[in-house]
Each structure stands twice: as structure tokens, then as C-alpha cells.
Amino acid sequence: KITGECKSTDVEAVAAALQMAKKVVIVPGYGVAVAKGQYAMGEIMKELAKRKTDTKISIHPVAGRMPGQLNVLLAEAGIPYDQVKEMDELNDPSDWEDVDVALVVGANDTVNSLAEDEPASPIAGMPVIRVWKAKRCIVVKRSLGVGYAALDNPVFYNDNTDMLLGDAKIRLEEIRDKLRASA
């Protein structure tokens, strides 16, 4: 049973968290592809690079609707390959100890802690990206609706998680604009 409440946040707070972060891991999901948010995501990464923020993308092997879909979209957006990591390259608990912000964009099932914490869950045993291990997790999603597996995600109710609801492309563009304005 999931307890707690989803805490909402706003673009200003997300931009401020990213500005203060020394290490950021961005986790894109199918929602990035649907919204065509990869270009704004790449521009956010450029803004963070100007600030010398250690920024990586972690890609789940089944993110998107076909294997490799997100890798192609990120390459189209000009995101350097060395900043894009496959899930298994960046998913040991120790990898997350110094992550200030995990920015989840349009992902749900691939970051669902039920896979590890609930043996009776339909996704039990599925490898997931452990965003809940970051100091702060910010989730950009269209709504609080469930993902493909039709399961609630307890990560969204954690004390260290804030939800920024809305279209991924629009929200990413707003975050990018706030980062640019404060440069």
C-alpha cells in the first residue's frame, strides 16, 4: 500500500534545484518521445554544463516504445554520447549517493520501486533506475496517471520527490528558459 502524498512543485523551484546541484541524472521515458522534449532536454544539459554541473542521462533498456528509441531521439537533439549512460552503467546504490537531483521526465514504470520492494508486484524483479536514491527526485509528468504497467508508483509519494505536472516539452522549455535567465 502506498502512503503519503504527492508534493507538487513549480518551474522556478525546479530551476533553482538544478542551479544548486553539483550532480544531476536525467531519466527520460516515453513521455519525452511523445512530447518531443528531447531538444529542450539537450538545451538544459548545455545550460548545466556551463555551470560545470556533472550531468548524465540514464536510459532504461525498455524506455520508449521500442528498444533504442530514446537513444536515437537524444542523438538527434545533439546530446553527447558520453553523457548518455545505459541503466546498468549508472545504477549501483553507490552511484546515487552524490546525486543531488534525479530529474525524471515522462518515465513511470522504469523508475518504479515496487519492482525491488514488492515481491507480489507484477513488475517484481524488473530492473529499474533507482532515482529514489538521489538526494532529491523531481518528476515531470503529464498527469499522475499510471504507466504502461498500470501500477501506482510509490516513488512519486516519497518525501524527497516533487512532481511537476504538464507537457514534458513545455515544462522542459520553461525550465531551460529559467536557467538561461539566471545565467
Catalytic residues: 30, 65, 148
What is the CA angle 167-3-115, rounded to 5?
Answer: 70
CB neighbour list of residue 98: distance below 8 Å, 6 or more residues apart: 22, 23
Q: What is the CA radius of gyration of the chain?
A: 15
According to DSSP, the residues that pair with 94 across neighbouring strands are: none
Q: What's the Cα-to-Cα distance from 27 to each of 3, 47, 142, 172, 183, rounded to whole Å?
A: 24, 17, 15, 13, 24
**DSSP structural state of residue 103:** E
Q: What cell does 64 get?
A: 520508449
59 contacts: CB under 8 Å, gap ≥ 6: 27, 28, 70, 71, 74, 84, 85, 86, 87
